[in-house]
Chain A
Amino acid sequence: MARRRVQINRTILGAVALGVVVCLTLGTLIAVAMRAEGAGRLGPADWAAIRFTLWQAAASATLSILLAIPVARALARRSFPGRSVLITLLGAPFILPVIVAILGLIAVFGRTGLISQALGVFGIEPISVYGYHGVILAHVFFNLPLATRLILQGWLAIPSERFRLAASLGMGPSDIARTLERPMLREVVPGAFLVIFLICLTSFAVALALGGGPKATTVELAIYEAFRFDFDLGRAALLALVQFTLGATAALLALRVAIPGDMGTGLDRAVTRWDDTRLLRVQDVTAILLASLFLILPLTMVVLDGLPRLLTLPAEVFSAAARSVMVALLSAAVTLMLSLPIAAFAVRSTSRLVEGIGYLTIAASPLVIGTGLFIIVFPFVKPSDLALPITAVVNAAMSLPFTLRALVPALTAIERDYGKLADGLGMTGMARLRHLWLPRLRRPMGFALGLAAALSMGDLGVIAMFADGSNATLPLQLYRLMTAYRMEDAAAAALLLLALSLALFWVFDKGGRVDADR
């Protein structure tokens, strides 16, 4: 009886949260399609865009994951001073606004960037970052940190008792990889791959700027063009549906491949590893050093670029920053309200569809969501009145895939390990949430909320559709500074944005790791 009540509550809350997600994604798409005059048609250029989109997303995701595995393994195996700061810093590229990241990357990898200059000293030709490899490089830069974090979560979720047992059985690194690490990867990697694939699917400005031209056209750009120049809502909606279908197919495939592992339960002790060799140490140090260089150099360039004007920024930039922090906090709160019920529902439901729907927000076109919401609210209220709340909700929906990726495996493990015990104790509803879930979800939840807040901070998102002159967010203000030729002020605003995003992420993430991570 008690068990049934839990189930009903969870089902209802989860279904409501899923409903919100479906309305935001498919609902807005339908709103746009209904407003269209006549159905759209896909031309040969659209098919080329679809092919390129799929190809670059798959390549970027594969490479990000392949590189992330050694880095995550190294971070999981080593403890050194500054490790937690490094882990936070490594997360930074992911939350950077696109325009800032592009300029940071170019400062390192561009024609006149650090690497080309260093090569020039030896009389070697400068490297070119523009082309397909540039797109992949940028996407790896954005997503390697996320992949590392997601895989690291998996590593840290292996109870330390398993490693003790392995050590007492005399297992070497390869035995541990076979019995403990590979099964964990099998569980974690498909989900991480999927998330990154979906992010790259909707990429647009990055692909264009570093792709070197129109060969690097993604579906999202075709949507933008249909909307902006042709005002062909039918075609925009059709393209959005294509993008959506690609995302959904990828989600179904990835979730099918993932095999839930069963590591059993531990006592949450810190992991000590006994399988250390000199070779492993060299491997790990190299992985950490290279990843740090790759990720932190462009960030350093952003910082150096922005420092000179930081203190003399116009007051409007700081008020926009305050507005952005509010939106980010609100967005984090909404994220929690959406993702926890969905995660709970997903764990109980036998169908993977629940989790799958949660992922779809990232495959939806932000432009179509914005336009659809505009069509829906315009008859009733002044759109600019809702600019900030709508931005917060859409941002929350956009970060769902990442938060679900962090929460669902953790909650699955909790229910698998302690669910029966909790049922036996009659622990349901709020009691179960407070005493079983929340304490054990703290780490993934801190990570998820930090990510949601930081992403919301840096996202230009739908605000451009709804803002009037007075309620700009920080990313929008950054664009405005650039449009007014104030590139140096814009660089300073970018630094402010980077610092605030990181601070928000750090506070939440730290909150989730107070006792667990030294």
Chain B
Amino acid sequence: MKTALSFVAGLALTTTAALAADKPVLQVYAPDYFASEWGPGPSIEAGFEAQCGCDLEFVTGDVMPRLMLEGERTEADVVIGLNTDVTARARASGLFAPHGLDVSGLTLPVDWTDDTFVPFDYSYTAFIYDNTKITDAPTSFDALLAMPDDTKIVIQDPRSSISGLALLLWVKSIYGDKADEAWAKLYPKILTVTKGWSEAYGMFTDGEADMVLSYVTSPAYHIIAEEDLTKSAAIFDEGHYLYVDLVGKIANTDQPELADAFMAYVLSEEFQSGIATSNWSFPSKLAAEKLPEGFANLPVPAKALVFSEEEAEAIRKPALDEWLAAASK
């Protein structure tokens, strides 16, 4: 019993020991994938710590629910990894402060005027396929809907996955009031719906599904990290739903200068040139010629579709009901 207790204490202490240094600590809340050894976190941490004289600490988890639970008492100084579809709630929480940065030189496909959240990278939702198996890939959403029903697609559930939610909004932005008809045509091709992106993508790379809902930038991973050129994103004429990753500053941070410095660092060229190959998406402020090779040649949608955060929040429930109804037929 005693040994068990000291074991518990030991477990608890090992994590606190790291905080013992005298440097000021900047706490950055991030989604779990972000701060893992294989995500963008470690290089961001190293890069920022080299110039701030501080200790950057990532706190990972389901960021928004966690912030809501903590409320005003949150220890967070900065939150990274939010996206445009949940910012309405984030803004309404009143926890965030204006960023005060100049965001005029961004390379996003849309104008950015938000004074609270700063984009650090972006991508578009897209269906990924194996170009050795599908040679006549659809070039429009209509063409996708017209594909034979034995083309099997895996998507994510919009109730548990942010990319699944993006698909819901994508369909809505193309088909509007006729979205239910689109779903009725798409549904026979849906092999299954997974809880998260990982299961779906795993089913695709295992060859179980012909197409998977992911991002236009997904092929870049296979090209750069695996030298595998067989994965492509189907580019649709109607446009693709834009997915923007954001960073925001917490209003009652106890490290306001550090937080501001970090927000500025996010738009620096050092951060921006690293994010493409660590988060597998387009940097938000980097000239096209500076993109890594695998990215520069990626086919890019001609049109970005996006809802404002109020629209996204208002559409979500009815669109979800529509999707559920289509799926239950």
Contacts and interface: CB of A to CB of B under 8 A. Distances in A.
Interface string B156-192: 0101100001000000000000000000000100111
Given A112-B208, A476-B32, A379 B73 contact: yes
Contacts of B225: 485
A15 interface: no
Interface stretch (A55-63, A73-81, A212-220): A212-220
A389 B60 CA distance: 18
A45 B324 contact: yes
Interface stretch (B34-42, B113-121, B301-309): B34-42
B197 interface: yes
A291 to B, nearest CB: 25
B15 A213 contact: no
B205 A487 contact: yes
Nearest to B160: A224
A106 to B, nearest CB: 5
A22 interface: no
Nearest to B208: A110
B12 A212 contact: no
Contacts of A213: 187, 190, 192-193, 327
Contacts of B194: 205, 208-209
B195 A208 contact: yes
A87 interface: no
A467 B60 contact: yes
Interface in A460-483: 464-472, 476-477, 479-483
A377 to B, nearest CB: 11
Contact of A385 (B1, B16, B68, B324): B16
Interface in B277-329: 280, 316, 321, 323-324, 327-328
A113 B206 CA distance: 10
B64 to A, nearest CB: 7
B57 interface: yes
B221 interface: yes
A111 B59 CA distance: 40
B316 A229 contact: yes
B202 A482 contact: yes
Main secondary structure, interface of A, reads: helix
Contacts of A165: none
Contacts of B230: none
A214 B160 CA distance: 11
B38 A221 contact: no
Contact of A479 (B11, B160, B198): B198
A418 interface: no
A186 interface: no
B41 A480 contact: no
A107 interface: yes
B218 interface: yes
Interface in B132-160: 152, 157, 159-160
Nearest to B61: A465
B32 A464 contact: yes
B58 A468 contact: yes
Contact of A483 (B33, B41, B62): B33
Nearest to B190: A213
Contacts of A469: 35-36, 41, 57-60
B201 interface: yes
B323 A214 contact: yes
Given A204-B195, A213-B192, A479-B32, A228 B62 contact: yes
A66 B142 CA distance: 48
A105 to B, nearest CB: 11
A455 B75 CA distance: 33
The interface centre, meaning the residue of B89, B199, B221 with most chain A CB atoms within 10 A of its CB, is: B199
Contacts of B68: 231
Contacts of B207: 112
Contacts of B160: 208, 221, 224-225, 228
B50 interface: no
Nearest to A106: B208
A382 to B, nearest CB: 8
B281 to A, nearest CB: 12
A385 B192 contact: no
Contacts of A467: 32, 60-61
Interface string B58-80: 11111011101110010100000
Interface string B200-222: 01110111110000000010011
The interface centre, meaning the residue of A214, A333, A386 with most chain B CB atoms within 10 A of its CB, is: A214
7 contacts: A45-B321, A110-B203, A111-B209, A221-B157, A231-B68, A388-B11, A470-B15
Given A333-B4, A337-B1, A484-B38, 4 more contacts: A205-B196, A228-B64, A472-B36, A483-B197
